[in-house]
Structure 1
Amino acid sequence: MTVYRAAQPEPDPLTTSSLPAVRRRRTALRVLLAVLALALIATLLFIEAYTNSGFAPDHEGPGDRAAGRVPAGIRDGGPILDATGGQARSVRVPDRTVALTFDDGPDPTWTPKILQVLRRHGVHATFFEIGAEVARHPELSRRVLAEGHQIGAHTFSHPQLADLPGWRQRLEHAQTQMLISYATGRSTSLLRPPYSSVPDALNDRDWDTIAAAGGQGYTTVLNDLDSRDWARPGVDAIVRAATPEGQSGAVVLFHDAGGDRAQTVAALDRLIPQLQQRGYRFATIAEATGTEAGAANPPASAAAVWRGRGLAWSIRLADASWWVLWGLLLLVGALTLARALLLLLFAVRHSRRRRSVTWSWGPPVTEPVTIVVPAYNERTTIEPAVRSLALSAHPGVEVIVVDDASTDGTSEAVEALGLGNVRVVRVPPGGKATALNTGVALSRNALIVMVDADTVVEPDSVHRLVQPFGDGTVGAVAGNVKVGNRRGLLGKWQHIEYVMGFNLDRRLYDTFGCIPTIPGALGAFRRRALTDAGGLTTDTIAEDTDLTMAVHRAGWRVVYQETARAHTEAPATLGQLWKQRYRWSYGTMQAIWKHRGAVRDSGPSGRFGRRALPFITLFSVLLPLLAPLLDILAVYGTFFLNRTETAIGWAAMLVVHAVTAILAFRLDREQLGPLWTLPLQQLVYRQVMYLVLLHSAITAVTGRRLRWQKLRRTGEVDAVPAGGA
């Protein structure tokens, strides 16, 4: 065994005592940004849920209850209830007077059509508007007032007021008032509670809400006649229901929103002329009761207008965010299904082709191979890793262990093995890329295999790994890396991820000629390809991805050899897993950004840039980064949307993942036992990966360089695992 030693370097200024504090502050800042981003999304979704609270038509309110506290004069009186000043009184509309009222708007489709009918017949009406809709269509509220109509409040989100606590009732009224003030510069003193009808249908709880509203200065307007246009029974039926008997006056209920109101428009066009011919006049609530024209909609205060403006913009932002999320969700769904179909078509085809008895890379490759093993404090795992490499079945193997200034006796552990084809090189601390470049420079052979110090390689894997070099166009080969420590739940989850998320994807990427990463755990290179690619660099923290893309751009093919298997030690704790995946995901983003110029190049580099980079970005970065939307909207839908539809949608995506996992395990000839943990992986493990991606994305945006990070190893993988379960 030959041992090389290098002089110790001068102290690195980056290791000063102030650096940990700086890193902690930066990490805290990134965590804070991530929390703020999640909080913003949650807030916008909450606003959207509150604003779009699903409501039934007004006729579908709760049934009758006791009415012992409702004054008899109110139950038997008119539909206009004035409970202001502590005195309750009711007002009827005079004979031969109809007050047309419209609920649930404004609506961009039907409110303008109804306004056209009213203008054509020269009549005014009263519109009871929902605050959330006013925020979305303020121009319609302004038009309503400009054309001589009146506006009343119909609450902000159309809830059953009697079922809400007092503070929520006040909030519903206040928000609607602010939005009407913002939209029109006017306030309103008229209120129609959702799900209300005629006075004699009031119960005690309804009366309590009316009395409370009266204490806030509101006059409650119920109705005498319900046109029942909400049921769309036909124009004739609507006209009959809205026609007063004899010469009596009436407050008539219509709707200008909440569904298709074509029948409402047609019925108004018939009803108004008929009643005018009978001597009826049409009036707003204020006109019908003899109130001054401006009393129902007096000028609003400047403070109310500004508060309404802020509320309106928050609703619009929530709406816009909601549509963006839905658009992204559709994109995620399409990409997920596309990925599943591509895997089904091409990964299966890839496997069948490689297993064919006629398949060959070319002449058998038997030339000697140099295996480079970078190591930093790997005493726990280095012995079984080096032993498995030194005893490889491939002829002429030399192993170079590059010790990157370990302090735990890594070199001594390798030296103690006494293996004649193993060299140890001690170098100053420089990181993994530098260690690998050193090993390549000291190698004696044209074929280089790179293996991590925590990886145990099967006896024939190195021989299988280099066989694709029988094809002179192949410059690099990715091996099939397995999780060796898969006994625990976290190990099983990573095992599933490696099989279906890494190795299955490599089959697909291999088919399209765009494998993004030769895994550091097991990969092979032609020395000439490494030279053409410029070797490993420290430009990114994912030196393997960076190098692989450089090999592509240099015009070499990068292929996947699924029969060359290695077993690596995966992180055993969530903290270590986070550290590893953070480096991987951030490094991948760095590598893609570094090689973005390839899209403008000519020749092999341009082909890689225009064909492969978009594919890699789409499926390796964008899809994983957006995938959390499936779970976010599943949780959102469980609380605020149709639960059955949400459950079906989420279950469908789980089925897609399950089918993909089974396919991956079958192609890799793995036992299906660990797949019982797949639902748990989707619920728990996947969320951790999402947070890692978010952390990485924030780091990429804010900018930071990470050093080669050392994970804590247990030495659990000291031999090739016997099975996949």
Structure 2
Amino acid sequence: MARAAALTLCMLALAPALSQAESGVAKRAAVARAAGIAAAYGYRPVLGSGTITASTTSAGGSKAAMAPAVAAITSKPAAPSAATAMLAVVPAAAAASVPAASSAAKAAQAAPQCKGNIYLTFDTGSQAQAALIAETLQKHHIKASFFLANEKTVNGDYSLDPAWAPYWKARLAEGHVIGSHTFDHDVLVRDAADGKLETKPGFGSSAGKVRTLSPDQYCEQIRRVDQRFVELTGSHLDPVWRAPAGRTSPRALAAARSCGYTHVGWSPAGFSGDELPSEKYSNASLLAKSLRELRAGDVVLIHMGIWSRKDAWAPANLEPLIKGLSQKGYCFATLRDHPDYSSSFKHP
């Protein structure tokens, strides 16, 4: 299509020469030029009855016409309207499509050739790196996925307090996926014998204490994030959740499914290590491990700030990780596009 469009432009450029040539010799010279141009673009000039028709051969061996490009140029002495007649074989719609075809070809050439997607996911934490994470994703035009709990932040408030509404509204507007991480950051301890679940919340009135929840109460911990998110942004969460510390059980997963949430963990290679002690696991070693091991389809776990880590991971590693994976040919997407989770999202 791009070849035909380019050939059309060349043929149109020859129109004045054809119409102004008064002698048969001049006409034949112009036609010869047209034939040469056709050949240069991969079309075979077909001579016969004083005409030249540019054609090509399809993969199946049949001759394919160059439509809607210029189909034929007469080499016979032409009436004054011959040039107009020649131009008439290029429909207005086809002529208008030439710039569009050219732009599309350029866009296709410029589009990155991905060998697969990597899925960056961010869990709430101290929120010390919240601004940096947002800025880095914006800078590299990356959409990611976030999992929210109501965690204490370095500002002295909590991550689902009204003060965080602008931040979450902005992430929502940017097209990121946003799911639940349970309201109180309830880490599953074990399935209790009576059909209930024992959990240890990180925040709230029972912080640090083991408590027993029914499946409905556990589900409510997941849904409570959605309720607060609606209050802050006017929008619901996406139907995905991540268990704190990644601890799940068949009972916990069933409870979440009963209220419409699909669990998303992370890949073995996707553990960034940002919650490990920096004295033993340096940022450089963690980055090298991620770049060495991550593959297409992997889900990466990153926190928005870890209280216990001395040398924060994100300021040192997030952008180098993105650049390094991009250089390897990977692209980035949200969980909405992950083959294992896409069916959980409601598509318009």
TM score, norm. by length of structure 1: 0.25
- Residues 117, 265 of structure 1: 8 Å contact kept: no
1:281: which partner in 2?
Answer: 331
1:271-302: per-residue Cα shift (whole Å, max 9, x none)? 1011111110111110233977994799xxxx
The answer as to 2:138 corresponding to 1:119 is yes
Paired letter, 1:115: A
1:228: which partner in 2?
Answer: 273
CA distance in structure 2 between the aligned counterparts of 1:220 and 1:286, rounded to whole angstroms: 13
* 3-state SS of 1:123 partner: coil
CA distance in structure 2 between the aligned counterparts of 1:213 and 1:142, rounded to whole angstroms: 25
Of residues 168-177 and 265-274 in structure 1, the stretch that sits farther from structure 2 once superposed is 168-177
How do residues 359-370 of structure 1 correspond to structure 2 at under 5 angstroms?
A: none
CA distance in structure 2 between the aligned counterparts of 1:152 and 1:211, rounded to whole angstroms: 17
Alignment CA distance shift 1:180-1:111 (3 Å): same
CA distance in structure 2 between the aligned counterparts of 1:246 and 1:177, rounded to whole angstroms: 31
* 3-state SS of 1:127 partner: strand
Structure number having the greater helix percentage: 1
- Residues 115, 331 of structure 2: 8 Å contact kept: no
1:133: which partner in 2?
Answer: 159
Q: Whose relative contact order is higher, 1 or 2, with alpha carbons under 8 Å and at least 6 apart? A: 2
Alignment CA distance shift 1:105-1:143 (3 Å): farther
The answer as to 2:302 corresponding to 1:257 is no
1:555-604: per-residue Cα shift (whole Å, max 9, x none)? xxxxxxxxxxxxxxxxxxxxxxxxxxxxxxxxxxxxxxxxxxxxxxxxxx
The answer as to 2:139 corresponding to 1:151 is no
The answer as to 2:321 corresponding to 1:271 is yes
* 3-state SS of 1:257 partner: coil
1:66-94: per-residue Cα shift (whole Å, max 9, x none)? xxxxxxxxxxxxxxxxxxxxxxxxxxxx9
How do residues 217-366 of structure 1 correspond to structure 2 at under 5 angstroms?
A: 217-224=260-267, 225-231=270-276, 232=278, 233-243=281-291, 245=293, 247-259=295-307, 262-289=312-339, 295=345
Paired letter, 2:257: G
* 3-state SS of 2:186 partner: coil
Paired letter, 1:171: E
C-alpha displacement of 1:253: 0.4
* 3-state SS of 1:243 partner: helix
Paired letter, 1:226: F
CA distance in structure 2 between the aligned counterparts of 1:249 and 1:257, rounded to whole angstroms: 25
* 3-state SS of 2:313 partner: helix
Equivalent in 195, 198, 212 of residue 255 of structure 2 = 212
- Residues 306, 312 of structure 2: 8 Å contact kept: no
- Residues 297, 338 of structure 2: 8 Å contact kept: no
CA distance in structure 2 between the aligned counterparts of 1:180 and 1:170, rounded to whole angstroms: 16
- Residues 105, 127 of structure 1: 8 Å contact kept: no
The answer as to 2:226 corresponding to 1:177 is yes
Alignment CA distance shift 1:214-1:155 (3 Å): same
1:192: which partner in 2?
Answer: 242
- Residues 116, 296 of structure 2: 8 Å contact kept: yes
CA distance in structure 2 between the aligned counterparts of 1:156 and 1:292, rounded to whole angstroms: 24
C-alpha displacement of 1:263: 2.3
Unaligned runs of 5+ in 2: 1-113, 151-157, 189-196, 199-211
1:508: which partner in 2?
Answer: none
2:213: which partner in 1?
Answer: 165
- Residues 104, 258 of structure 1: 8 Å contact kept: no
1:13-46: per-residue Cα shift (whole Å, max 9, x none)? xxxxxxxxxxxxxxxxxxxxxxxxxxxxxxxxxx
CA distance in structure 2 between the aligned counterparts of 1:246 and 1:256, rounded to whole angstroms: 20
- Residues 150, 297 of structure 1: 8 Å contact kept: no
* 3-state SS of 1:134 partner: coil
1:448-505: per-residue Cα shift (whole Å, max 9, x none)? xxxxxxxxxxxxxxxxxxxxxxxxxxxxxxxxxxxxxxxxxxxxxxxxxxxxxxxxxx
Paired letter, 1:252: V
- Residues 103, 127 of structure 1: 8 Å contact kept: yes
* 3-state SS of 1:258 partner: coil
1:663-684: per-residue Cα shift (whole Å, max 9, x none)? xxxxxxxxxxxxxxxxxxxxxx
Paired letter, 1:269: E
- Residues 190, 296 of structure 1: 8 Å contact kept: no
- Residues 187, 297 of structure 1: 8 Å contact kept: no
- Residues 126, 304 of structure 2: 8 Å contact kept: yes
- Residues 150, 296 of structure 1: 8 Å contact kept: no
Paired letter, 2:271: D
How do residues 47-58 of structure 1 correspond to structure 2 at under 5 angstroms?
A: none
Alignment CA distance shift 1:123-1:293 (3 Å): farther
2:94: which partner in 1?
Answer: none
How do residues 18-97 of structure 1 correspond to structure 2 at under 5 angstroms?
A: 96-97=116-117
Alignment CA distance shift 1:105-1:296 (3 Å): farther
Alignment CA distance shift 1:165-1:241 (3 Å): farther
1:616-671: per-residue Cα shift (whole Å, max 9, x none)? xxxxxxxxxxxxxxxxxxxxxxxxxxxxxxxxxxxxxxxxxxxxxxxxxxxxxxxx
2:122: which partner in 1?
Answer: 102
Paired letter, 1:210: L
* 3-state SS of 2:183 partner: coil
TM score, norm. by length of structure 2: 0.51
CA distance in structure 2 between the aligned counterparts of 1:266 and 1:293, rounded to whole angstroms: 35
C-alpha displacement of 1:121: 1.5
- Residues 125, 282 of structure 1: 8 Å contact kept: yes
Alignment CA distance shift 1:142-1:106 (3 Å): farther
Return the index of the structure with the highest Cα Rg. Answer: 1
* Moved >4 Å (runs of 4+): 290-294
- Residues 240, 263 of structure 2: 8 Å contact kept: yes
C-alpha displacement of 1:248: 3.6
